[in-house]
Amino acid sequence: MNKQFKGKLEFIEQGKFPKEFIEALERWNYSDATIKTYKQNFSLLMKHYPDVEPSEITLEQIREYIIYLVKVKKYSVSSQNNAINAIRFYYTKVLHRELEDFYAPRPHRPKNTPKVLNEKEVALILKSLTDLRDKCMIFLVYSAGLTPSEILHLKPNQIDSKNMKIFISSAKGDKDRYVVLSNKLLFLLREYFKKYKPLEWLFESYPGKQYSKRKLQKALQTAVKKAGINKPATLTILKNSFAVHLIEKGVDIRYIQQMLGHKYAKSTMKYLKVSKRDLKAITSPLDNLDV
């Protein structure tokens, strides 16, 4: 067994891991994968300071630990952020301490331009889907900009067909929101309800059991291959395409930000970089006046 992984397990098994940490993660409805990542990262912090109670670890010790991860352990930007997120969660959500009191220097990821598909490519992929359940889930990505986690955590009563919207409950403690319910998707969902009769979760592997993200990803890749698309086409890229295509159709960036659940506008502004909309598509307000 890998020594590092063994150390993680020992820390948890010895009963030293804060029980309230796990309870808080579950209360905030974090995914199993995120809970596992947070547990592993926080266990390593505890292992780094074995003689200090987790609640007594100081800000300076946290900063020293992050520097240790960067300079000694050679953590990537992604791994650094995972460690910081786990530590930040414990001190803000479990111990209820002010964020400023436990600020940890956060590394910046290289700014990459979002990858997208054009409308023709998206249409080919969607038409290649044959399974009704997979079709509904993947249509949700492109029609409403949902993440796989948001889709798999949907419950039947979150579909509001009367008002043509879908309620999205935030898994990270941010504001809940509504997204648009497509007419085409509603038609598919009605067929889906008749066939599958979901109970607890909207999409289930079997009664009461959430559908898996891995199966959803596999369904998309099968459709991509069948459609003859020879470029990257993931669930994230499909979600990116949703945002960019709305921008190209002239939808206000603020509405797109709201639908995507972005707290900050800069998270949404990145899609402007890949939008093909230009000044030729914009009509001057003067041209709408009878003067």
Q: pLDDT tens digits for the chain (291 residues)?
A: 344 434 444 444 445 678 889 888 888 878 888 889 999 999 999 999 998 988 898 888 988 998 899 889 988 888 888 999 999 899 888 888 875 655 556 666 666 788 999 999 999 999 999 999 999 999 999 999 999 989 999 999 999 999 999 999 875 545 788 999 999 999 999 999 999 999 899 999 888 888 998 999 999 999 999 999 999 999 999 999 999 999 888 888 888 888 888 888 888 888 887 777 654 555 555 456 564
Residue 206 is predicted with a pLDDT of 86
Task: Please write down the long-range contacts of 99-106, taking CB distance under 8 Å and 24 or more positions apart.
Answer: 101/59, 102/59, 102/62, 103/59, 104/62, 104/63, 104/66, 105/63, 105/66, 106/80, 106/81
Domains of the chain: 3-102 (1.10.150.130), 119-276 (1.10.443.10)
Residue 9 is predicted with a pLDDT of 40
Residue 266 is predicted with a pLDDT of 82
Residue 282 is predicted with a pLDDT of 52
Compute the distance between CA of residue 275 and CA of residue 238 in angstroms, rounded to an integer: 14
Residue 273 is predicted with a pLDDT of 77
Nearest to 216 by CA among 239, 194, 190, 246: 239
Give this prediction's pTM. 0.63
Residue 154 is predicted with a pLDDT of 95
